[in-house]
Structure 1
Amino acid sequence: MVNTASTTSTTSTASNEHINLAVGSTRWQFEKRLRHTTVLQSFAFDDVGLRLYVAQVMQGGLRLAGEPRAYTADERRHRGDLCLNQLDYQGTWLNHMYLLGFGHGVGLGVETGPPGSAWIWTEADARAGGTAAFGRGISRFAFVNGETRRSTAAATSYPVAGSTANQPSVDMEFKRLAVRHRIGSRLRYRVYALADAAEGDFTVPLHDFAQTATHPDPNIGLQGFALHGNYLYQVVGTAYGPANPPSDHGNMHVSCTDIRTGRQVQRTRTEAGHSLDYREPEGLAVQRTAKPRLCMGLASGAVGARRYSIYYKERG
């Protein structure tokens, strides 16, 4: 495996201009509700059908058809049970799916087709570890309102043999798929042609590089990532608390890595949504507009009544 640079050369016309992370942030959606009362984990856009998809861990106390009993919130996290929400661009909740045994929802992608259709990319085949379960592979499936889908090895792709904590991000503009994964203690990304990935062909990645330093404090974990053009964006940070007080406006950082070289080109702290209570960064996605927007998800509200907000940085 290559250490830092791409595994193959590419002649893609993907954008050579990245979104400037130092620009101010604009509020897009503010303290919206999801189907469940847990925080959002990740989100992605269908910019054809104008739909927003948001993944969250299922709340405790629910018993779905075919389940022997209701499970607690902790049990849902350890099982890798997710609720996938579909909303419009005003933040109005529309539909949902239940994804059982898929993972923690750190990464999410949407592959768009004709209006009204969307293929969802998520982690899959969850393996419990620590406080949550993470996917040993990734899965692609059609969004079907109200469906309960159970993860199976037969419906899971395993792009990197022996890896854990697999998470996807889709770049529809340049037709690519990024897969974040862990091999031992090493966190890496691979980028594939979306058409090949959709056919289950992961033999020749376009790029393969290590995760760069996302925060001054290496103990603060990643909360989301997004691929767009020749750049991969990451967001890290924790919720407000004694070590991260609201008066300091939080420890949230965003960064940008050039996927062709594996080198970080920018990293900055952001105070987006600093007035929110709780304020935990959750999820990152690029919205395709006339000027691409790097959208950052933020959870707020009390336990049992979480809400989400989205702020963005727009390319000049």
Structure 2
Amino acid sequence: MSNHGPGPGRRTLLVAGTAALAVGGLAGIALWGDDGTGKSRDGKAPAGPAIAGAFDIARSTRLWQPTPLGNVTGPQSLAFDDVNRHVYVVQLAQGGLRLDGEDGPVGAAGRKRAGDLCVTRFSRSGEQLGRMYLRGFGHGISMGVEPRSDAVWLWMESEAHPRNGFGRAVARIRFEDGAVLDSHDRAVRHHRIAPRGSTRVHPAVDMTTERLLVSYLGTDGKHGYSVHSLKKVVAGDGTPLHRIDSAAFLESETFQGCALHGDFIYQLTGNPYSTSDGRNPRDSGGNTFVSAIDIRTGRAAGHQHVSVAPSLRFREPEGIAVRMAPDPLLCMGFSVKTTGRRNIALFGFEPATGRRHT
């Protein structure tokens, strides 16, 4: 979970900015549901399609029932390896992490630092297949997976701020089951491609177009995105293909992750259920939303309320990614409370009829 601060107002989603090297000088536009909530005025979910980018948020399928993670903490983000048919889920590491040469066994509790992460590899069915720890990397707001013939590479936020634990750069990490890797390791290359001074920097990857999405909070306090060639970034060229200078969210929503697929950025916002007298009680239907932004124009391309699985306990939206095989799905995770731990429930949303994933 992360919070970028108040947005422009409770009833407005505002997306404004420029798409560098594509379109310039765009004005912001406001986009809202019938009453700004994504529901009709009688409080019910809208009938018919609920389009965000190339997906229909009204057409859902359950992929995982609440499933345990590598640690007891809740999920932060997820990504798919469609080549090897694996799913990677990131969470904040419980306790602390030691490295070789420090007192105590590798991976033992102690010396917890801001930004320690646990990455768990799963089968498509939710079986745990491996685990890796990253020390001092970030909060795990979003991530990317880049499968290659030599290895599976994870794109993670990196250089965690020592006080708040959020990343200030992005890094490409080789997944190794059982490894504990420190952000200060000389083998870790930090790509500082967000605007200078940005914080809360985190990546996502679209392997269908071989592009990298970088999300960041600028020095002006506004949330922005940039899109890059994956191969050029690896080669040391961080020049953006597109940039959206600001994207503000509903005041009542918390930013929970982003994904890139084709020409759309998908962003997830929302909060866990609150008590009955709080701002997000279960009987409200929750305040989880999926929004889409067209990177070619910088314009909003849908802002839809997510009403799936209202009976989940806690139901905090955590992580959004696109799974391509066997069929495209826009996938979303929910953190679910159980005794002594948090689990992840995973849902997918089908392509909108007639929409292309350009």
TM-score range, shorter chain: 0.7 to 0.9
Structure 1 position 251 matched with structure 2 position 287: yes
Q: How does 1:14-93 map to 2 (within 5 A)?
A: 18-60=53-95, 66-67=101-102, 76=112, 79-93=114-128
If you compute each CA radius of gyration, which structure gives the higher value, 1 or 2? Answer: 2
Give the corresponding residue for 1:108.
143
- 2:20 corresponds to which letter in structure 1? T
For 2:162 and 2:85, locate their aligned partners in 1 and report how far apart those are by CA, in whole Å: 34
Structure 1 residue 303: deviation in Å? 6.4
Structure 2 contact 322–328 (Cα < 8 Å) conserved:
yes
Matched positions, count: 299
Give the corresponding residue for 2:335.
299
Structure 1 spans left out of the alignment, 5+ residues: 11-16
Structure 1 residue 24: deviation in Å? 2.5
Give the 3 Å change call, closer, same or farther, for CA 303–201 of structure 1 in structure 2.
farther
Structure 2 spans left out of the alignment, 5+ residues: 1-15, 24-51, 354-358
**Cα offsets for 1:233-266 (capped at 9, x unmatched):** 0111111112211122211011000111111110
Give the corresponding residue for 2:296.
260
**Cα offsets for 1:100-126 (capped at 9, x unmatched):** 000000010001113x83110000010
Give the 3 Å change call, closer, same or farther, for CA 311–214 of structure 1 in structure 2.
farther
Query: Secondary structure at the residue paired with 2:59?
Result: coil
Return the TM-score normalized by structure 2: 0.78
The alignment's C-alpha RMSD in Å is 2.2
Give the corresponding residue for 2:222.
186
For 1:259 and 1:109, locate their aligned partners in 2 and report how far apart those are by CA, in whole Å: 18
Structure 1 residue 213: deviation in Å? 3.7
Structure 1 residue 289: deviation in Å? 2.8
Give the corresponding residue for 2:273.
240
Return the TM-score normalized by structure 1: 0.88
Structure 1 residue 221: deviation in Å? 1.7
What percentage of aligned pairs have identical amino acids? 37
Give the corresponding residue for 2:175.
143
Query: Secondary structure at the residue paired with 2:231?
Result: helix
For 1:263 and 1:303, locate their aligned partners in 2 and report how far apart those are by CA, in whole Å: 43
- Bigger Cα displacement from structure 2, 146-155 vs 162-171: 146-155
Give the 3 Å change call, closer, same or farther, for CA 28–9 of structure 1 in structure 2.
same
Give the corresponding residue for 2:18.
5
Structure 1 residue 65: deviation in Å? 5.0
